[in-house]
A and B are shown apart, each in its own frame.
Chain A
Amino acid sequence: MKKKNRALLVPFVLWAAIFIVLPLLMIVYYGVTVEVTPPYEEIVQADGSVAFALEDGAVTAERPQKETVFSLSNFRRMLEPTYLKLLGRSLKIAAITTGICLLLGYPVAMILSGRDFKRPALWLMLIILPMWMNFLLRTYAWMSILENSGILNSWITALREAVPALDAWLTDRGVGRKIIFLYNENAVILGMVYNYLSFMIMPIYTVIVKIDRSLLEAAADLGASPAQSFLRVTLPYSLPGVLEGVTMVFVPAVTTFVISQLMGGGKVPLIGDIIQNQFGKSSDWHFGSTLSLLVMVVVLAFMGALNRIDKEEAAQKEVRIL
């Protein structure tokens, strides 16, 4: 690369060093250290002043301060069932969210990329448009729809009053006057699917729209029904887009804390919530950092696995050809 071009890199390198590398190093540092106060005894000395006797017998006039020392004790704590369960739940909810996004997003991407579909740009815009609104605002909107005295419940109530048969039918099935939609796992999953769906649609759409139409025509010409055409041409070709979409949904879903706090009302704490808690209320940055490292490792392992699927697929193609 020419020197002139290299100079253009300087701002980015600085930015990356200050905002990516340094914080990462700080997290590692916090993660492998703990703050401890050395045990001591207060002694009232003859002249009435207070002294502090440390375990090794030394006596100082100053009260011993907390010290930061190297320790892996937080890693032991991290592996306690409480935290592993939280991580497990986070992974489960993220996996369900990713699955639902894929099931909803893939058909949308396919329909939008269809030759007969008029004005796909407009529809893509409509899909992305809500994402331009503040994330919190969108989530609060869902809450006001779903809460106990929210819009949905008031509609259901109105409907039950208007149709007594429905009311009786629902009452028979033990459905209460107010249906509780919020503050459970399903609500959290709904919030995630809503917020992350477009991240699934976009990469899949981008890949499908590039598939050469003549390949689909060739498949049909050779006798492939639309379903066979999909399985043998569209699906293999769209796999890279699917993997990218899965990454784009799964990774933020594992680490989010806002959605679980708002939609889950604190009843469905995820690993992200606990980490946020450590840096907030509990102000135990050390344990928070250790948990962050754990999540980072899990996410990296997940992305590594996806990468391997992609590579294996490519390798399989090679093998088939050899």
Chain B
Amino acid sequence: MQTILSIRDLRVVFEDGFAALGGVSLDIGQNEFVTLLGPSGCGKTTLLRCIGGFETPTGGEILYKGRNIIPLPPYRRNINTVFQRYALFPHLNVAQNVAFGPGLRGADKRQTAAEVSRMLGLVGLAGFERRRIASLSGGQQQRVAIARALINRPDVLLLDEPLGALDLKLRREMQGELKRIQRESGITFIFVTHDQEEALTMSDRVAVMNAGQILQLGTPEDIYNEPQSAFVADFIGESDILPGTMVRDRLVRFLGCDFPCVDAGFGQDAAVDIVLRPEDVKLRPEDDPACAAMPAGEVTSLLFKGVHYEMKVRVGGDTLLVHSTHARPVGTRVRLFVAPEDIQVMHKSDSSPDVLKRHAQRAQ
């Protein structure tokens, strides 16, 4: 895959001294769907605004097809943005909004009109040309904003939480639509969101950000199954994070028991964090002879969640979240079983950069 956008050690320090971005590096390929995921204030929107040209970085480079574009104003970049609140022009109708970019370049009117209709068709708004912006629903406005950006045939489309204002059903629908548009148009999408489910559903790769840093970059499966830090594990889906000890390679101790695992290279008796996904923790009867060496606990709460039951199990001083299709009443004594490949072992104090680097090397 050819790299189209290369971000090198990008730094943004605001006037009040707040470091919104503390040295971010990221390569984005042609026709890739990359999501910047993180809580509000993590720097994801700042990074997007730097790429769009609305924020001037205090350090680093943004290479677009090998050329540093930081000195270029937004209107000189072949990059378009779908803004968080769409920023449609209320004094223009749908067609005029979409035709804004071609109009600026003095494009042929009849050709533009045809192109506008084609774009509106692509986003599922055929026949909406003469509608007023104010008469459109949130989802429709969002599609107009996408059409208005796409008509300029950008190489990269930036999307700043474009689904944030939509209700759940519409959001699901638009996630599919966006993915389809990205595939059909061949454009690189950089998508900003704080919704982990959205990120996992749509992206080719996800960059999890916090405090102005990219903590982990990888495919949705990698990010979900192999979180490299407690923060990522906690942010992506629900998880149980427990203190543990790496007894030796492929054997880890937590909750007072030894578990075989697949991790190695931590050394002997190293303090580690253990991440367990709630659906990976299996509950067995306390008297199951096959699990006699597993930690025992007691179910303290039971909630029906539709697809599964959510239970809390107290083991000694720790409480674990467990998802299961099989309900166990509150007060039931159980034993916990976790398969070796479902145990994710992480270094303690894992968010420091050098630890992250080691993780990255290990992953390779």
Chain A contacts of B131 at CB under 8 A?
321
CB of A223 within 8 A of CB of B87, answer no
Given A214-B85, A228-B104, the answer on whether A221 and B91 have CB atoms closer than 8 Å is no
In the complex the two chains form, is A236's CB within 8 Å of B80's CB? no
- The answer to whether B73 touches A220, judged by C-beta atoms less than 8 angstroms apart, is yes
**B1-9, B93-101, B286-294: which one contacts chain A?**
B93-101
How many residues of A are counted as interface, with CB atoms below 8 angstroms from the partner's CB atoms? 21
| Given A220-B73, A222-B100: A214 and B132 interface contact (C-beta under 8 Å) | no
B132 is contacted by which of A215, A236, A321 (Cβ under 8 Å)?
A: A321
| Chain A CB within 8 A of B130 CB | yes
CB pair B54–A217 under 8 Å, yes or no, is yes
Least CB separation from B52: chain A residue: A221
Neighbour of A223 across the interface among B89, B93, B152, CB < 8 A: B152
Tell me if A219 counts as interface (CB < 8 A to partner B): yes
Do residues B74 and A220 form an inter-chain contact, with CB atoms below 8 A?
A: yes
CA gap between A221 and B104 in the complex, in Å? 11
| A28 at interface by CB-CB < 8 Å | no
Q: B297 to nearest A CB, angstroms? A: 52
Q: How many residues of B are in contact with the other chain, CB < 8 A? A: 28
- In the complex formed, the residue of B with least CB distance to A318 is B132
Contacts of B54 in A (CB 8 A): 217, 220-221
The answer for the CA separation of A224 and B53 in the assembled complex, in Å, is 13
Interface string of A278-322 (1 = CB under 8 A from B): 000000000000000000000000000000000000000100111
Q: Is there an interface contact between B130 and A322, defined as CB atoms closer than 8 Å? A: yes
Contact B83 A223 (CB under 8 A): no
Q: Which residues of B contact A218 (CB under 8 A)?
A: 81, 83, 87-89
Q: Does B92 contact A (CB under 8 A)?
A: yes
Name which residue of chain B comes closest to A219, CB basis. B100
Distance between A187 CB and nearest chain B CB, rounded to angstroms: 42
Interface membership of A237, Cβ < 8 A: yes
Enumerate chain A residues within 8 angstroms of B75, measured Cβ to Cβ.
220-225
Most buried by B among A212, A222, A224, A317: A222
Chain A residues within an 8 Å CB radius of B74: 217, 220-221
What residues of chain A lie closer than 8 Å to B101, measured between beta carbons?
A: 222-223
Contact of A217 among B87, B104, B105 (CB under 8 A): B87
Nearest neighbor of A222 in chain B, beta-carbon distance: B101
Q: Does B11 contact A (CB under 8 A)?
A: no
Q: Which residues of B contact A233 (CB under 8 A)?
A: 89
Per-position contact with A for B40-77: 1 when CB-CB < 8 Å, else 0?
Answer: 00000000000011100000000000000000011100
Q: Which residues from chain A contact B194 at a C-beta distance below 8 Å?
A: none
Chain B residues whose CB sits within 8 angstroms of the CB of A219 once the complex forms? 100
A314 to chain B minimum Cβ distance, whole angstroms, is 10
Closest A residue to B78 using CB positions = A223
In chain A, positions 60-112 with a C-beta closer than 8 Å to chain B are none
Q: Mark A199-230, 1 if CB is under 8 A from B, else 0.
A: 00000000000001011011111111100100
The reply on B148 being an interface residue by CB < 8 A is: yes
* Chain A residues within an 8 Å CB radius of B130: 321-322
The CA of A317 and the CA of B90, in the complex, are separated in Å by 10
Q: A215-B87, A217-B54 are in contact. Are A320 and B92 (CB under 8 A)?
A: yes
Whether the pair A224, B104 counts as a contact (CB closer than 8 A) is yes
CA–CA, A232 to B148, complex, Å?
16
Evaluate contact between A214 and B83: CB separation under 8 angstroms.
Answer: yes
- B80, B85, B92, B93: which contacts A221 (Cβ < 8 A)? B80
Q: How far is the CA of A219 from the CA of B53 in the complex (A)?
A: 13
Complex-state Cα separation, A225 to B77, whole angstroms: 11
Report whether B87 and A214 are in contact in the complex, using a CB–CB cutoff of 8 Å. Answer: yes
Give Cα distance in the complex from A219 to B80, angstroms.
10
Contact present for A221 and B81 (CB under 8 Å): yes
Question: Closest CB-CB distance, B112 to chain A, in whole Å?
Answer: 13
Chain A nearest CB, measured from B214 CB (Å): 24
- List B contacts of A228 (CB < 8 A): 104
B105 CB contacts on chain A under 8 angstroms = 223
Query: In the assembly, what is the distance between CA of A205 and CA of B54, in Å?
Result: 23
Q: Which residue of A lies closest to B85 (CB)?
A: A214
CB-defined contacts of B85 to chain A, threshold 8 Å:
214
Tell me which residues across on chain B come within 8 A of A222, comparing CB atoms.
Answer: 75, 80, 100-101, 104, 148-149, 152
CB-CB under 8 A from B132, the residues of chain A are 321
Q: How far is the CA of A225 from the CA of B73 in the complex (A)?
A: 9
Partner of B89, one of A215, A217, A322: A215
Which one of B53, B75, B79 has the greatest number of beta carbons of chain A within 10 Å?
B75
Question: In the complex, which residues of chain B have a beta carbon less than 8 angstroms from the beta carbon of A220?
Answer: 53-54, 73-75
A212, A236, A322: which contacts B87 (Cβ < 8 A)? A212
Query: Residue of A at shortest CB range from B77?
Result: A221
- Residues of chain A with a CB closer than 8 A to B73's CB: 220
User: Mind listing 7 A-B residue pairs with CB under 8 Å?
Assistant: A212-B87, A218-B83, A221-B81, A222-B104, A222-B148, A222-B152, A224-B100
Residue positions of A touching B, CB distance < 8 A: 212, 214-215, 217-225, 228, 232-233, 236-237, 317, 320-322
Q: Which 7 A-B pairs have the closest CB atoms?
A: A214-B87, A218-B87, A222-B101, A220-B74, A321-B93, A221-B81, A321-B132
